[in-house]
Structure 1
């Protein structure tokens, strides 16, 4: 059946997010976008410029939540072995790999710690406008020394009034981490999640996160958190997020295989949550040329237009319905509405984009297209958990339970109360 554009009116498609407790959150419609696009490899300023263009476009469609892929800022080093190849040996110098790592390290960004993020998590929406709490939060954030890229991303979130979930390569000293950063529409950095378990050759270049960076943020849109790529296959780590009440589960990834869709559907059903998975779409030409970047794993050197990551970004409802995607066609903004009442779905696949009114949960087929679209509502979370609540009525804590160590673990700590700075950040010099 055809979808007819709704009548134009003065009412915006999506109301601006109000960070206060007086709003009727039961009537909120959440429009979410997952970004499927490539990094500008080894060029972090250009990547940030590209990120802003994509955020602006998503915000123009009324999105309140924008999720980027794994390692969007800093880049996912597809094809690179950092000099190790198939046989890992430390007996011979890997000078080429060291040079590659040096360039990769330079493209990473400095990120504040989650040391004080628990203060923000415990605040209710009505407290976010309280002068004392706000002053405390700004002071604590200032003390964390955010790098310029984090400041830039926070400004983007504030400028376009979106919650932003961004995959980055984080640099702490000389160790890199694959991380996800969270920002709110007031332009504030909320905190981060560090990938706890890098996969395969990722372990050569990335450090390991710990239990201190698995946050779930209670926002006006819902409780938002994230795990990265194959971390999503770790049942206990997923359970930690379920235990924190996650409702909007973000899964930035580098896995474009069709089987990834089965994992995302399973998590949506298991957790009774919306799942938003963002992956990059990359061609060989999105990486540096062969003279600067050896692309292994595909036999001979691929042609510039060879697709080296086809994407597969997707949004799935708590009932397992695919709301948008998966997309394997190119760079794209994959968008869906998550709301209770009659909603408007902005079609990105028609030109110009048009808004359509339809009832949440209904299925439609576009005229002259076999693309099927869905719209779900936040009440679907409650309905899903009526049947299965993995950390509620379906749990058996007297038989099976999970204990999460959420404290940071440092290789060096200092017992003196006056000196708590991690060794990686201390040069041994007293500061005024």
Structure 2
């Protein structure tokens, strides 16, 4: 079996300014593909950046906070939408090279935002995965996903799926993904802390799959850079000069410290051993995967098969979309 070459792009996103972030992502993904990668993974909400102010800015969760409201408005204005033409360069890169690219984004559906880890695949529509349960303060930004975006992409070399951050501590979500038979799983994180590394290694062992635990590198100054880019774009689009939102800037200035997301990405084998690990800076992490390890590992553990008890436990998954409104045709 020919080894599968994979890459994790551990980079600093361009917060808020999603068009600039798409341009950056295309260049980084192209470099990874030119390095031989057939599967390229980015961390959680790379397009738009992780909303660090929720955890790091004192008072961000207070009711009616002007800065939080301003940043939410900016995310809504910038967010990707279904069939977003701005994403075409990523799709064209996949179509031209045959590579698969997994990248996170803020997605707008009607007037709500989702945390979406998109899988771009050659010749096929984007495969969405919207985070099922935003964690803690994230619920101030993101809507809950539903079962319609639980799925995998079937490539010629095997299947690849993804979960986002604390979904890796949702036992039934893990069981659902194991049932889909992933060869490679993209575990998306804002940064790969020790406990996140443990969850990723556990997923690899339990699911008998390779795991790409992808984290971001993000600093306080990146947030100001993104805010300035948004103001510049608005001015170029006919706005009244470069006006940086004062409330948003004030909230971001209250963040203490500089380095907030520190990378730590890793590539993990089906027996939970670490194949490759990144440091705290920006880098692209490569590895070659021997996919025969997946089936060999199943000889001792198959949590969806011989190590399950379907006569005792049953999982029922609703794959239907839940838009919340049903317009019937009278």
Q: Same fold (TM over 0.5)?
A: yes
Query: Which whole-Å deviations, capped at 9, do the CAs of 1:104-138 have from their partners, x for residues lacking one?
Result: 21221002xxxxxxxxxxxxxxxxxxxxxxxxxxx
Matched with 1:364 is: none
Shift of the 105–319 alpha-carbon distance from structure 1 to 2, 3 Å rule, reads same
Query: Which whole-Å deviations, capped at 9, do the CAs of 1:13-65 have from their partners, x for residues lacking one?
Result: xxxxxxxxxxxxxx332100011111111222221121112112111211100
1:260 and 2:196 aligned: yes
More helix by share: 2
1:48 and 2:28 aligned: no
1:328 and 2:279 aligned: yes
Shift of the 297–157 alpha-carbon distance from structure 1 to 2, 3 Å rule, reads farther
Matched with 1:104 is: 75
Aligned-pair CA distance for 1:272: 0.3
Distance in 2 between residues matched to 1:87 and 1:68, nearest whole Å: 27
1:384 and 2:266 aligned: no
Q: Is the 8 A contact 1:280 1:309 kept in 2?
A: yes
1:402 and 2:321 aligned: no
Distance in 2 between residues matched to 1:87 and 1:411, nearest whole Å: 26
1:190 and 2:126 aligned: yes
Greater Cα radius of gyration, structure 1 or 2 = 1
Matched with 1:316 is: 268
Q: Is the 8 A contact 2:57 2:252 kept in 1?
A: no
Matched with 2:103 is: 166
Q: Which has the higher contact order (CA 8 A, sep 6+)?
A: 2
1:411 and 2:293 aligned: no
Which runs of structure 2 are paired with 1:33-432 in the superposition (5 Å)? 33-80=7-54, 85=59, 88-89=62-63, 93-111=64-82, 146-186=83-123, 188-288=124-224, 292-293=248-249, 294-295=251-252, 301-302=256-257, 306-325=258-277, 327-338=278-289, 377-416=290-329
Q: Is the 8 A contact 2:6 2:37 kept in 1?
A: yes
TM-score (norm: length of structure 1): 0.68
Stretch of structure 1 that moved more, 95-104 or 162-171: 95-104
Provide the alpha-carbon RMSD of the alignment.
Answer: 2.1
The 3-state SS of whatever aligns with 2:205 is helix
Distance in 1 between residues matched to 2:101 and 2:134, nearest whole Å: 23
Distance in 2 between residues matched to 1:86 and 1:414, nearest whole Å: 37
- In the alignment, structure 1 segments of 5+ residues that lack a partner are 1-26, 112-145, 339-376, 418-432
**Corresponding residue pairs, total:** 309
Distance in 1 between residues matched to 2:161 and 2:318, nearest whole Å: 18
